[in-house]
Structures are given as structure tokens and as C-alpha cells.
A and B are shown apart, each in its own frame.
Chain A
Amino acid sequence: MGTMGLALPWKARIASVPRQRETRVEPSEHYAGGPNPAVVDAITEDATLATGCRAGNLHAYERLFYLHGARMKNLARNLLGNPVDAEDAVQETFLKVQRSIASFRGQSSFITWTYRILINTCHDARRSRLRKKEVANDDSGETPRPEPRAPGAHPSLRMALERALASLTKHQRDVFLLYEVEGFRHAEIAGMLEITETASKNTLFQAKKNLRLVLERPRGNAAEPR
């Protein structure tokens, strides 16, 4: 594809991949009007899940997996770079939820709390993998190695973005993945990362600015960490 030679992935014609959700190109944070019925349903669902999991009901965990398992695995894969580690991280997250559900006081939503555990688990796994690499004297670096994904995804565009993401700070990467890839709102991200909503917005803005800088560089420099 000729346009890819410019190393400007957004100028490339993106393959017609079927979208599972609307693309996040406009702000979705500013709501008007009364309580959204979908939000009310989500709150009820969240409380039901928390109660079920606290009672040790395996069906509640199954429901949690049914609702969020794929998204959790996708987030873990983007944070860790491969599906095997991602599955391990998601499984570990479920076990951690089971172990510490008694200490969940409901200050944030149950789902936010679960994702916070997942993100911390992924960071721990990444650190541990980095330590192992250091021990093994492997100089391949911290950058997760992307693996083949869904056949529909545009490989060059995805790889360019993954390489560019590796150049971001941990916080910028987390916020970008949570907002742009997983479609969470800034309020939810703030709860997951224990930051303010404003900090989340600002971090996303900085992340996107940095990504643009990295992706606009000539191709040879695109993967260079900052």
C-alpha cells in the first residue's frame, strides 16, 4: 500500500473491519438531561455482580466473565503484548477478586475495582517479566512483542500503533488503551487508575500528542523509545 510508506497510519486507508462499537472520535463525557436508563441498568448489574461474587456464587463470576472477559483479555493483551500472558493475568484477576471481595467497600463500582486489579496485575506481570529478562541477560528490551491478532485487523497500522504506544509512559499507555481502545469514560478511567478525571483527560491528550509525534517521524525512527 503506497500510503503506508509515509509512516502516517491515519492517512492510510483502513480496511473495512467490522466495528463492534462506535469509534471514539468525539467526546462522550458531556451528558445532558436526566438519568440514562442504560446507566441505571449498569449500576444495578454492578451491584448484583458484587453481591453474587461476595457470596461466592460461581454464576456471578461467570456473568462477570461473560460481560467483561473479552474486554479484560484485550486490555491485558495490549498491556502485556501476548495472549498467553493476557489469559494468565485475567485468571489471576478473577482469583484476586475472589480473595479480596470481602474487602470491597463499594467506594467505586465493582467493575472499576475489578479493572483496577487487572491493570495492577498486568503491571506486576510486566515487571516480573522484565526482571526475568534481566536475569537471563536478554537485551530485547521492555517493549512487548506484538503477536498476530484477529485476521481482520490492519497489520501495518496496528503494528505501527503498537510500536508507537511502547514509546509512551505507563500512565499515558493505560489511559489511551482504556479510552480509545476499550471505550471507557474518563470518570471510569479515573476510578481505575486512582487519578482525577481532569488528569485522565490531560494524560490522554498528552498521549495522543506523543503518538502523533512518533508516528509522523520517518519510518526508521518510528520505533525508537523516547
Chain B
Amino acid sequence: MMNATCKDREHIFEDGTPGEWAALEAHSNNCRACAEELKAWKSLSVAAQEMRDYTDSPSFWPRIERALATEAQRNTQRTVRRGWLSFLPSIPLSWQTAVAGAFVLVLTISAGWIYVHWPNRPEQHDKSLLKSAALENVEHAEAAYVQAIDKLAEETKPQLENPAMPLLANYQEKLAVLDSAIADLRAQAGLNPSNAQLRHQLLAMYQEKQHTLEEVLEARKQ
């Protein structure tokens, strides 16, 4: 028969074989400390039985059964909804792949054809891509307006070059400032033709120049 000592106790408690347990029992007959430990250890297992309560509860299974039946019914409905796709698993995977590949190929060819034959391709009409028709109209009108103002400026040129009055000298300075501002705005508008804010400011400057030139002409009449 196997022998056990106090040192073996912990190991036997953790993972002892039936032989080792028997040896520990035999040892505890002569060792009070081991007898106490063994008793306490076993008592825990005995106490654990108090936590066992297998009382039958008659309403419990019917409740679970109802829940299972409801879930099964829901599953059936889901399966029916997915029914139209049920033929897919019956088709071999290689065929499914081939069909998907063919579909992608047809899609690619169609897209390519549309790209090539599209009537308004960007490279053919890059001008219309950058400038809308409305913007072109504005630019035409603006050019005509500028030409008209330049004509007006030509008319006032003799007075402004030889100002007879201090008022005309002031007009000349004002027109110089306006021309400088107009040149700046035109440069910026050239970089960003669609900027409506710049165009508004430019228009305001032209209008101011027009009024100033009109005032110069009025001053000449007086």
C-alpha cells in the first residue's frame, strides 16, 4: 500500500489518485493535523450539496416549448422569404463563378462602349466644360461694356491730361486708383472666372469709373 505524508496532502487534494487518497486517509489516522484538514476539505464538498435544488417546476417546460415553437415558426417564415434564392445552392460553385464572371464582362464591355460613343466627351468640348454658356454671355457683355467705357475715357483724355481745375486733377487721381483696382480684379477674375464675387466687384469698379468719367464730361461743359 502507498504511503502518504503531511507534505503530500496539498498535492492529493489537488489531483490525487484513489490510491493516494486512501494513503492520506490511513496517514490521517495517526496525524491529527492531517485528519482536521481532510475533514475540513471533505466538509466543503458536503456543504456544496446544500446548493443543489432540483425541485420540479411544472410550468417551466411548457414555457420553453412555446418559445421554441415561436422561434421555429419565425425561422420558417424567414426561409420562405429567402426561398427565391434557394436554387443557388443546387448550382455547382464553378458554374456560379462562371456566370458571375460573364456578368462582370458584359458590364465592363457595355460601360466601355458607352464611354467611347458618348456624344459630349470632355476632351472634345473642353471649353464648354470650363465655361458655361451663361458665363460666356457675361464675358461678352462685359467686353462690350469695357469698350464703351474706354471710348468715354478717350473723350475725357484731353481735359485730364491738362487739368484746368483742381477738381479735374482729383478726378484724374481717382480714375488712376480705379484703373489700378480694375487691373487687379481682372487679374484675379482671370484666374478664377467663375467667382461671382469678383465679377460683382469688377462691375462696381466699372460703374464707378463710368460715373467719374461722366462727371469729368459734365465739368467740361460747365
Contact = CB atoms under 8 A, between A and B. Distances in A.
Interface in A75-98: 77-78, 87, 90-91, 94-95, 98
B77 to A, nearest CB: 14
Contacts, number: 123
Interface string B135-178: 00000000000000000000000000000000000000000000
B71 A181 contact: no
A26 B22 CA distance: 10
Interface in B18-70: 18, 21, 39-57, 60-61, 63-65, 67-69
Contact of A62 (B15, B52, B65): B65
Nearest to B15: A201
A20 B54 contact: yes
Contact of A74 (B47, B54, B65, B67): B54
B17 interface: yes
Interface in A36-93: 56, 58, 61-62, 65, 69-71, 73-74, 77-78, 87, 90-91
Contacts of A20: 52, 54
B48 A176 contact: yes
B16 interface: yes
A19 interface: yes
B45 A24 contact: yes
A24 B51 CA distance: 13
Interface of A: 8-11, 14, 17, 19-21, 23-27, 30, 56, 58, 61-62, 65, 69-71, 73-74, 77-78, 87, 90-91, 94-95, 98-99, 149-150, 153-154, 157-158, 161-162, 176-177, 180-182, 198, 201-202, 205, 208, 211-212
A67 B131 CA distance: 82
Given A27-B16, A208-B44, A158 B68 contact: no
Nearest to B18: A30
A69 B39 CA distance: 33
Contacts of B14: 201-202, 205
B68 A14 contact: no
A160 to B, nearest CB: 8
